[in-house]
Amino acid sequence: MRPRSARCCANQAQSPESAAGRRRPAPTRRLAYAHAVRILAVTNIKGGVGKTTTAVNLAYLCAAGGAATLLWDLDPQGAATYALQGEAQEHASVKRLLAGKVELPELILASGYPRLDLLPADFSYRNFAVHLAARNHPAGRLLKMIRPLSEIYGTLFLDCPAGISLLSESVLRAADVIIVPLIPTPLSLRMLEQLYAFIAREGWTDLALLPFFSLVDRRRSLHVELIARARAQFPQILATEVPYWSEIERMSVRRAPLPASAPSSAAALIYARLWTEIRGAERRARAQCSGGAATASAGALAAAAGNSSTA
C-alpha cells in the first residue's frame, strides 16, 4: 500500500503511524472554505452502470483542479472506499450518524491524493433509508448532516447506491448537480424519463441534471440506435461517452483513479473531457438560476418530461 499523506490544507508533517503507511483520520483543515459546499451526486436506480468509477475519477479531477474535495461513499458495498484503498471507520453506523452521536467530520480519512479526502462506506448504510424514515423531517436530514462540511470543503461528491428509497430522494433534495451514468438500454432511458418527470413535478428548477452514456460499445448496433434516439429526445445528455473498455475495468485492480495511475491513457483523457463538460454545464445552470431564469429552467424540465411521455 502506498503511504498516505495528510489532508491537503493541514500541516503536512506525518506522524510515525502515517510514515509507516498506516491510515489515520485526516486532521482538521483550516476554515478556508466557509462558503456552502457544492454537492455533486453520482446516481442511477440501476446498478452496474459505472457510478463508482465515475465518482472516484471525477472527485480526483476536481481535487487536482484545486478544489478541496470530499467523496462520501454512501453505498454499503463500499466500492469507492475500496477503489481509494480506504477502510471502514469504527463508530460510523448510520444510526449513530442520524442520532447526532457522531458527526461526519470525525470520520474523514485522507485519500493519499492532494485535496481529496474520503468518507468511507459502512455496511450499516444498507439500512440508511429505514433509519431516515424514523427521524423527524427525514427529507432534510441528509443536508443537515452535510452542513458542517461547508467549513472544510468546496465540493462534495456522493457515490450513491442503486435503487429508489428515501435516501435517494434525500440525495436529490440535497444535491446541486445530479450526474447520471446511463447504459444504452431501453430500461435506462425509461429511468431517465421518470427522473425528469419527478424533478419537474417537484419544481426543483435549481437542480442540474447531467446524464451521460456509460459502458458504450459502438460496435453494437443497438447501442448506436438507442444513443441516437436518446439524444434526439433528451438534448441535455452530455456529449462525452465512456466506452466499455477493459482499461477502465482495471481501475478496480489498481485501486487508484485512472488520472492518477495512468494520466496519459485514453481512458483518463475521456474522464477529463467528461469533467470539463460537467463543469461547463454546471456553470451554465448556475448562471441560469442566478440570472432569474428559473421559469425557463422549469419549462425545460417540463418539456423533457413531456417529450418522454409522448415519445
- 239 found inside a domain: yes
- 75 found inside a domain: yes
Question: What confidence tens digit (pLDDT) does each residue in 242-282 have?
Answer: 999 999 999 989 999 999 999 999 999 999 999 999 999 98
Q: What is the CATH number of the domain that holds 173?
A: 3.40.50.300
pTM of the prediction?
Answer: 0.82
d(CA 161, CA 55): 12
pLDDT value of position 34: 37
- 149 found inside a domain: yes
Question: What confidence tens digit (pLDDT) does each residue in 50-95 have?
Answer: 999 999 999 999 999 999 999 999 999 999 999 999 987 777 788 8
What strand order describes the sheet that includes 155-159?
109-113, 116-119, 69-73, 155-159, 38-42, 177-182, 208-216, 241-243
pLDDT value of position 4: 38
Number of domains the chain contains: 1
Residue 300: give the domain boundaries.
Answer: 30-310
- 7 found inside a domain: no
d(CA 197, CA 273): 28
- 202 found inside a domain: yes
- 14 found inside a domain: no
What are the grid coordinates assigned to 10, written together?
493541514
What are the grid coordinates assigned to 209, written together?
441534471
Q: Is 17 helix (H, G, I), strand (E, B) or coil?
A: helix
- 224 found inside a domain: yes
Per-range mean pLDDT, top range of 14-28, 99-113, 227-241, 285-299: 227-241
* β-bridge partners, 208: 177
What are the grid coordinates assigned to 166, written together?
428515501
Q: Is 41 helix (H, G, I), strand (E, B) or coil?
A: strand
H or E element at residue 39: strand 38-42
